[in-house]
Structure 1
């Protein structure tokens, strides 16, 4: 028989004074209540209750066992209450990882809304451009750029990660604006250098439905997009930057969009998890990200 049920039957028998009263309180027959107590006594190897035709009383072992059973049952009830609370209200810690530029310029707004809505949730956000194995490294979810290779992950598609070619008014006044992507080879282009891949030697564009690469010859490469954007704002050259990262600079005029009749190649973007969300905190976080960046 179930040990916790047996303990509950024993405690209720002590408190109610009889198997009949205990069984009524627990929704079982007096005979079943007695069987539970007898099973406990057999397992322990000692008598817990002195039984007479008129009353029952605790043995010395029964008294000690009764106190421990009450404490254990209270702990079990508290654990169930805590689990119910976790199931009803998002709470606890989420470990999230995202690419550096997206995580720095775009994701914080969605995270702020989420944390303001759910004050019992905490987020540990790791920004890195390397590939993160979310299972081995213990992350709840990751934002991924590019094609997905791991079919075992659960993924939700987000809007493609779009780019814009831009430069400062000072650079354009000194060097002029390229008329086509082919002309980029004659300009100072600022190159992004991935830590886990060779530096790009060209920028991708879509023309007449076909993707092609315009060659560039950067004198400055950096593995941090913020550094490249700052360099572009200061007139050092032309940048190919994520729309979300240069939104404010384009709005205030410190950067000017170029080659607007050509479409830079966008990158697929997803939020991925090891499995379908099993907790409210993760499910609601995914919903927040999809609402903000969903396709």
Structure 2
């Protein structure tokens, strides 16, 4: 039994004054109107309508109370439906996004700011973490991830690949010379990301030989920006994401070296659940991000 439909028929009968009038209003047969009322009365175990004349019906005491409550329920349903329509026209509400720390801080955060300037009724909670989040369990609408996609039943939209750059300050290269092969890194002062020692290592190439970034470092840090600051002081060579070093490379504060030995780029994807794509706040964000960073 469709309870809302039965309530709608009940209200139409009361307001039209007869089954025939309700049938015309709802564009169904009078027989069908009667069936809906019978189903409702059987479900409730109470008589709602009493025939007062040959064709007109009057409300019982229980029916009068049910009629008033039904009108309120139907009004709430109409309000909810209109709210959905409004949200389709104008994105609104809270959007929760997850992204890796460096990529998120350098690229995603500025794009989120642009998106918010375009959609004033949306709020964004951007969570930067290199941990893999559970979208459904953590209440995340969309996540940007680096690396191959593990099938989680999510939609994966490709973004620009994540590239690494090996670089040093001109002052360091003036003192120690520029390495010509990846194997020479062992004789240089290399600044290391401490997380690489446990996971997420990058592979360099010296011709056909695969090499790792030197494990022994005078300075290590668990944040790329700390390594960048040390490199700008001339402390040594770093290998960090292109998005983090782009401005320094363009300004000459850092110089890229061993470009043929840099690790292969890793894929980046924007992930979200297919059933949430219809939310305007998310669909517009997807369009915005893919438009700016789509591969």
- What's the TM-score, normalizing by structure 1? 0.86
Give the alignment's Cα RMSD to 1 decimal.
2.6
Match of 1:248 in 2: 247
User: In structure 2, how many angstroms separate the alpha carbons of the residues matched to 1:46 and 1:166?
Assistant: 82
Question: Which whole-Å CA distance do the structure 1 matches of 2:225 and 2:51 have between them?
Answer: 80
Partner of 2:288: 288
The alpha-carbon deviation at position 229 of structure 1 amounts to 0.6
1:61 matched to 2:62 = yes
How many aligned positions are there?
A: 292
Instruction: Show structure 1 runs of 5+ residues with no match.
Output: none
**5+ long unaligned stretches in structure 2:** none
**Structure-2 separation of matches of 1:46 and 1:67:** 16
With over 3 angstroms needed to count, the CA separation of the structure-2 counterparts of 1:133 and 1:6, relative to structure 1, is closer
More helix by share: 2
1:100-123 CA-to-partner distances (Å, cap 9, x unmatched) read: 110111111222232233333332
Residue 160 of structure 1 aligns to a residue in which SS?
strand
Aligned-pair distance for 1:199?
8.2
Aligned to 2:203: 204
Q: Secondary structure at the match of 2:138?
A: coil
1:41-70, Cα deviation, whole Å (9 max, x unpaired): 333333323322264332322221111011
CA, structure 1 residues 100+211, in 2 after alignment: closer, same or farther (shift >3 Å)? farther
Q: Which deviates further from its counterpart, 141-150 or 231-240?
A: 141-150
1:173-184 aligned within 5 A: 173-184=174-185
Deviation sequence 1:214-247 (CA, Å, 0-9, x none): 5523111111101111111122211111111111
Residues 1-295 of structure 1 mapped to structure 2, 5 A cutoff:
1-53=1-53, 55-150=56-151, 152-194=153-195, 197-198=198-199, 204-206=203-205, 210=208, 212-213=210-211, 215-216=213-214, 217-275=216-274, 277-280=276-279, 281-295=281-295
1:96, 1:126 within 8 Å by CA — same for their partners in 2? yes
> Displacement of 1:24 after TM fit?
0.8
The whole-number CA distance in structure 2 between the counterparts of 1:276 and 1:46 is 41
Quote the offset at 1:255 in angstroms: 1.7
